[in-house]
Amino acid sequence: MKLCSVKLNDGFLMPMLGLGTSAPSKVAKSDVEEAVMKAIDVGYRHFDSAYFYLNEEEIGRAIWKKIADGSVKREDIFYTSKLWGTFFRPELVLTSLETSLRKLQLSYVDLYLIHFPVPLKPGEELFPKDRNGELIFDTVDFCTTWEAMERCKDAGLAKSIGVSNFNRKQLERILNKPGLKYKPVCNQVECHPYLNQSKLLEFCKSQDIVLTAYAALGSNSGKEWVSKNNPVLLEDPVLNAIAARHRRTPAQVALRYQLQRGVVALAKSFNPKRIQENFQVLDFQLTPEDMDTLDGLNRNMRYFVDTVPADPLALGALMSCAQTLLALQGHPM
């Protein structure tokens, strides 16, 4: 099956189905490497990672192994990385990207995103904290960070640039920034039938910004940064009934739902069977009634903000702190 793509506002093409690579600490880095190689064999060409995920060396090795055996060429791969909050100062943005490129053994990334609209104190710690254990934020305006992102694009180190976890007001701050050279090509956010982001999607479409869905299959309580009380999306009876009618898995239906809305979907799995199953979403169509029913599942429920885990590397810790900071700024997530 040939993977469909969407044209970004700078003219580049982005495959609409990608493999997400963030993983709980219990997942071995070697498993990430194997998953990427399996995904390339299956047909995936879009891979999403970040400085924060601490797995770019393994992903780079996987990509180069598949290039070496003739499976793909570099230009076949669409690779996304992200700028972490401790690198928001303009003079550090290029440094961060170059660090990722060295780990990946690549000369450019296809897409570089601001990971969160929240600056953190620069330094070696991913989560810099004071003596009371509180996160130390920085005072950098992300509009200034965006100017450094534009320079990364001009230098050819990132073909396209965008943002992640931005709400409408934060997007508008960049779009309305005096002297804007490139507007974001995409906004990557949590998005699934329980959180369909319909208003944000409508706004992004009006601005020719692609919405990319992480946690497109929901998430489970086995991950340390996820709430233990939320229902499991893939066990939803309505989703399962639609899947049964189409003789598909609930995950395939959840992914197909996003593609038909014009949303780029990231499917995350390290299981070879599920990696293959999740790719098989291009040869069936949900009916308008199916789409309306899935829209009706929305309950504005997030998997990624309800807990602050003890593990300082867990993404939920920043999500919760970011939510608090943004609320103080009048920009709730």
pLDDT tens per residue across span 167-222: 999 999 999 999 999 999 999 999 999 999 999 999 999 999 999 999 999 976 55
* 51, 53, 214, 257: the active-site residue: 53
| 115 in a known ligand binding site | yes
Token pair, residue 62, equals: 């996987």
Q: What is the mean pLDDT of the chain?
A: 91
* pTM of structure: 0.92
Angle (CA) 104 21 88, round 5°: 65
Alpha carbons 242 and 238: distance in angstroms, whole number: 6
| pLDDT at residue 2 is higher than 90 | no
| pLDDT at residue 106 is higher than 90 | yes
State mean pLDDT over 69-82: 98
| pLDDT at residue 122 is higher than 90 | yes
Alpha carbons 184 and 162: distance in angstroms, whole number: 4
* 53 labelled catalytic: yes
pLDDT tens per residue across span 54-68: 999 999 999 999 999
Q: Are the CB atoms for 66 and 37 separated by under 8 Å?
A: yes
Which structural domains are found in the chain, ordered by start? Answer: 5-327 (3.20.20.100)
| pLDDT at residue 320 is higher than 90 | no
| pLDDT at residue number 220 | 61
